Chains A and B, each alone.
Chain A
Amino acid sequence: MAAAVSNKPQQDWADDDDGIEEPSTELPPVQTISNKDGTKTIISYRINEDGQKVKTTRRVRYITQRETVNPRVADRKSWSKFGQSEKDGAGPAPDTTSIAENMIFRPSINWRKDAKEEMGEQEQLKDKLKDKKVKCRICNGEHFTARCPYKDTMAPVGGTADPAAAPIGEDPALSAGPGPGAAGAKKGSYVPPALRGAGGAAAAGRGESMGGKFGDRDDLATLRVTNVSEMAEEGELRDMFERFGRVTRVFLAKDRETGLAKGFAFISFVDRSDAEKACAKMDGFGFKHLILRVEFAKKAAQ
């Protein structure tokens, strides 16, 4: 067994490509098998557009069709073959003639439109973009915005018209000319969201940061509960903590895929004193075989 394997010429990985390509250049001859029911099976090989070898098996039924033709044509049909075909028998010789696949051809006035629909999506996109030109957002010129010669002196077209879209805090500074603060001085350079409006009046814009919609309430009366069981439900937690006061929000982190709890939760109270009570009582409480750990939620790091 081992000898048989070693007899095979070892193929180097570098020769791999040649090994694949070699058989594709030589195609096996066409095979024709006559079936019992009068049909013939023709097995032929060809190389397709991607250079892959394709085996085609076709069953063909030959039907003799009677046709009335001009006597000249009939006479020519009876001519004996000559030249290289001298020895060929009646009927098409398989080495010179092969039957091709049936081509579908439906003449159509809307041919171009139909063909477009057939075209791949990518080609369609290419087609769509063919006439598109690069357009600068600042001066509408035919170059990328980043290459605009007016980049440092002009604002993007339509950018200042919509105050909501404009960066907060920067807009008033701009309209006041090269006004006070760092933001106004270096227009165009990137300002992280946290620092936007820093040049303005203190931390007015700081609410932009995450969780802004819950306001300060979050920081003051929110408990963080950890070591929560996987099987816990938000409802159960709400029941447990509502004993100490009004709970505005229960958030239990869950795995998106499995739907199981991740092991921590946030509970927000209306009143901070209730939260303090709950924190004292519930820390160390046994819940579903696990001991809860409850503490005040820390403020998000600034």
Chain B
Amino acid sequence: MVAMPSEPCQELTQSPRYNLDGDIIFSVAKDQHICAWYSHNGERLGTYHGHVGAIWTVDVDPTTTMIASGSADNTIRLWDVKSAKNLKTWEFPTAVKRVEFSEDGTKLLGVTEKRMGYLSNIVVFDINPDPAAEQTDERALTIVCDESKATVAGFSYLNRYIIAGHEDGSVSQYDAKTGELIDNIPIHELNQPIVDLQWNADRTYFITACKDKSAKLVAARDLTVLKTYPADTPLNSATITPKKDFVILGGGQAAMDVTRTSARQGKFEARFYHKIFEDEIGRVRGHFGPLNTVAADPTGKSYASGGEDGYVRVHHFDKGYFDFLYEVERERINRMS
């Protein structure tokens, strides 16, 4: 199907993320800079320097003017995409494991690690979309997760809820204005951490990836589990593909076990499932280590996976991918036409 450039970064662990137009991929790794790449040919546009610790997370605003990154140096930094200037730095007592912009780019959310007596927090900042403007120091909201550490979080549609995934396998729904906990539902096996949470295009539902070897599609409104995708390995990431009704799961043996298993046994493959029928429809090999992150191109033309092996692989889909239909889908199209 896919011919694609792959992009080695010196350090292990890669987490790529597409911008909204799907032309630029931002990737972070345990080396201390963020990379920006053109997705169509894998050319590196540039790097962002300033962090002094491993970078865990990056997100880009909807207009691709600013990116935010969270790092083990206990900061969230805001960058101007074009000039690579560090616009703002927020400091925290512990590492930042996740940042995410809201749908409209006016809010930024960060999830801080629970460590050294500090509880895990979800913090929200108001963002001025003008890169020249001064950004506020004030937190718009702080949600303290005292029950179980939050690992991932994001804004739902219309900034109505903040949805968080927890270490104990549950998801929480908070009111995005007041920070009040509305609901907490254990959807995954107890004490199996949810490690990824990615939205569909309009943020009405999301997919969780969990170490319990499954991914689940969950509605943002009432946290009902819509679909379950069982895998045969602990998952690190899951994403929903636009255009085609697929989901991509990435995972593999834990990093510490990798040296003892061959690439084949380690199950270092991106798994494609049909979003609606929940069937596994194929796998894509290529990485030499577990997949840390899979990210779908918002335009649906490609996907990127970041591996423990230090590569970001960008795969462009070909015709066979777009032509694939279930028999029932084909029948329905025929009836409609």
Residues on A close to B: CB < 8 A? 49, 67, 69-70, 72-73, 76-77, 79, 81-86, 88, 90-93, 96-100, 102-109, 111-112, 115
Give me 11 A-to-B residue pairs in the complex whose CB atoms sit less than 8 angstroms apart, sorted by A's number: A82-B83, A83-B33, A86-B46, A91-B43, A92-B41, A97-B5, A99-B5, A105-B1, A105-B282, A107-B321, A108-B281
The docked-state distance in angstroms from the alpha carbon of A249 to that of B110 is 97
* B23 at the A interface (CB under 8 A): yes
Q: Which residues of A contact B45 (CB under 8 A)?
A: 79, 81-82, 85
Q: Is the CB of B23 within 8 A of A76?
A: yes
* B260 at the A interface (CB under 8 A): no
The docked-state distance in angstroms from the alpha carbon of A72 to that of B40 is 15
CB distance from A61 to the nearest CB of B (A): 12
Q: Which residues of B contact A82 (CB under 8 A)?
A: 45-47, 83-84
Q: Is the CB of A93 within 8 A of B44?
A: yes
Q: Which residues of A contact B286 (CB under 8 A)?
A: 100, 103
The docked-state distance in angstroms from the alpha carbon of A301 to that of B133 is 109
Q: Is the CB of A104 within 8 A of B4?
A: no
**Contact flags B84-126 to A (C-beta < 8 A → 1, else 0):** 1000000000000000000000000000000000000000000
Q: Is the CB of A83 within 8 A of B84?
A: yes
User: Which residues between 49 and 86 of chain B lie within 8 Å of chain A, taking CB atoms?
Assistant: 49, 63-64, 82-84
CB distance from A186 to the nearest CB of B (A): 50
Q: Is the CB of B1 within 8 A of A106?
A: yes
Q: Is the CB of A77 within 8 A of B272?
A: no
User: Which residues between 283 and 319 of chain B lie within 8 Å of chain A, taking CB atoms?
Assistant: 283-286, 288, 313, 315, 317
Residues on B close to A: CB < 8 A? 1-9, 21, 23-24, 33, 35, 37-38, 40-49, 63-64, 82-84, 246, 262-264, 272, 279-286, 288, 313, 315, 317, 320-321, 324, 326
Known: A92-B5, A97-B5. A103 touches B315 (CB 8 A): yes
The docked-state distance in angstroms from the alpha carbon of A97 to that of B284 is 20
Q: Is the CB of A83 within 8 A of B64?
A: no
Q: Is the CB of A96 within 8 A of B41?
A: no
Q: Which residues of B contact A92 (CB under 8 A)?
A: 5, 41-44
The docked-state distance in angstroms from the alpha carbon of A104 to that of B47 is 32
Q: Is the CB of A107 within 8 A of B41?
A: no
Q: Which residues of B contact A107 (CB under 8 A)?
A: 246, 272, 281-282, 320-321, 324
Q: Is the CB of B3 within 8 A of A102?
A: yes
> Which A residue sits closest to B281, measured CB to CB?
A107
Known: A98-B5, A99-B5. A106 touches B44 (CB 8 A): no
Q: Which of A91, A105, A109, A111 has most B Cβ within 10 Å? A: A105
The docked-state distance in angstroms from the alpha carbon of A90 to that of B23 is 16
CB distance from A149 to the nearest CB of B (A): 39
Q: Which residues of B contact A104 (CB under 8 A)?
A: 1
> Which A residue sits closest to B23, measured CB to CB?
A73
Q: Is the CB of B3 within 8 A of A99?
A: yes
Q: Is the CB of A100 within 8 A of B41?
A: no
Q: Is the CB of B262 within 8 A of A109?
A: no
Q: Which residues of B contact A83 (CB under 8 A)?
A: 33, 46-49, 84
CB distance from A131 to the nearest CB of B (A): 16
The docked-state distance in angstroms from the alpha carbon of A83 to that of B79 is 13
CB distance from A58 to the nearest CB of B (A): 12
Q: Which residues of A contact B6 (CB under 8 A)?
A: 97-100
Quick one: which of B279, B313, B326 contacts A100, CB cutoff 8 A?
Answer: B313
CB distance from B103 to the nearest CB of A (A): 17
Q: Is the CB of A72 within 8 A of B1?
A: no
Q: Which residues of B contact A102 (CB under 8 A)?
A: 2-3
Quick one: which of A90, A91, A108 contacts B282, CB cutoff 8 A?
Answer: A108
Known: A83-B46, A92-B43. A103 touches B7 (CB 8 A): no
Q: Is the CB of A84 within 8 A of B46?
A: yes
Q: Which residues of B contact A86 (CB under 8 A)?
A: 46
CB distance from B17 to the nearest CB of A (A): 15
CB distance from B127 to the nearest CB of A (A): 19
CB distance from A53 to the nearest CB of B (A): 15
> Which A residue sits closest to B22, measured CB to CB?
A73
Q: Which residues of A contact B9 (CB under 8 A)?
A: 96
Q: Which residues of B contact A109 (CB under 8 A)?
A: 279, 281, 326
Quick one: which of B7, B24, B280 contacts A76, CB cutoff 8 A?
Answer: B24
The docked-state distance in angstroms from the alpha carbon of A73 to that of B24 is 9
Q: Which residues of A contact B64 (CB under 8 A)?
A: 72, 76
Q: Is the CB of B21 within 8 A of A73?
A: yes
Q: Is the CB of B46 within 8 A of A69?
A: no
The docked-state distance in angstroms from the alpha carbon of A96 to that of B43 is 8
